[in-house]
Structure 1
């Protein structure tokens, strides 16, 4: 494989913990360079070790896990509140809209970083069919 299809360069072994680097939004190889250029936009490469981030494909994984967690927390809290106190609907909106924003936006970037770091550590790549296998 050439350098563009081989996502992990063996010349520079990983020295970073996937958990620490991912949650801090740092390079999964060196743990120093920044992973993100924006809120969720991944940089083209690490400014410290030069790792090409073209291999990154976290897909919808982080959003799925965040939505699952957030949905459980917010719906459970809203149901308990409704059963115990029966507040008016405007109070439900005032309570749960900020909680939805907090439980979805706050963990999204760290979770995406973690999934990218784990993808790097475990050398996860797009599946390829072997000889004689049909798609």
Structure 2
């Protein structure tokens, strides 16, 4: 038949969340661990190119950004306070340093965090990953 897709049958067995999250952080398919989770920077693949697992059922939305903001706030604010306390860095330099560092860290963290959120949803059969 034309248009027929190779659908995997979900037998309801346990999907280990820790393994799935680890693979998601690496940008790999939570099902097989070898296919790529993303087809571009933040655009997840519809299906795993290796095993064919459907990956388009996620609803990550803004949650990865909230996690990144929370992480960066907890990392950068104490660092800013400590650096300001230990070193005499002019305010102009700090006004350049901290925003640039914040942007670089946010860009570095957003894809792994989004991959982990998608993998967690897959492992717990949430949203579009639920059988049926």
TM-score range, shorter chain: 0.7 to 0.9
- In structure 2, the partner of 1:55 is 57
Q: Shift of the alpha carbon at 1:15?
A: 8.4
Unaligned runs of 5+ in 1: 1-7, 127-135
Distance change in 2, residues 1:9/1:54 (3 Å): farther
TM-score (norm 2): 0.75
2:10 is matched with 10
How far apart in 2 are the matches of 1:83 and 1:26? Answer: 41
User: Within 5 Å, which residues of 2 pair with 1:67-78?
Assistant: 67-78=69-80
Superposed CA RMSD: 2.5
Hey, what does 1:38 align to over in structure 2?
Answer: 40
Is the 1:15–1:31 Cα contact (8 Å) retained in structure 2? no
Alpha-carbon separation, structure 2, partners of 1:42 and 1:12: 24
Counterpart in the other structure of 2:116: 114
Structure with greater contact order relative to length (CA < 8 Å, sep ≥ 6):
2
Structure 2 unaligned runs (5+)?
A: 1-7
Which residue is 1:131 aligned to? none
TM-score if structure 1 supplies the norm length? 0.74
Deviates more, 1:59-68 or 1:77-86: 77-86
Report the counterpart of residue 96 of structure 1 in structure 2.
98
- Structure 1 distance, partners of 2:36, 2:112, is 12
- Does the 8 Å CA contact 1:15/1:30 hold for their aligned counterparts? no
| Equivalent residue runs for 1:20-31 within 5 Å | 20-31=22-33
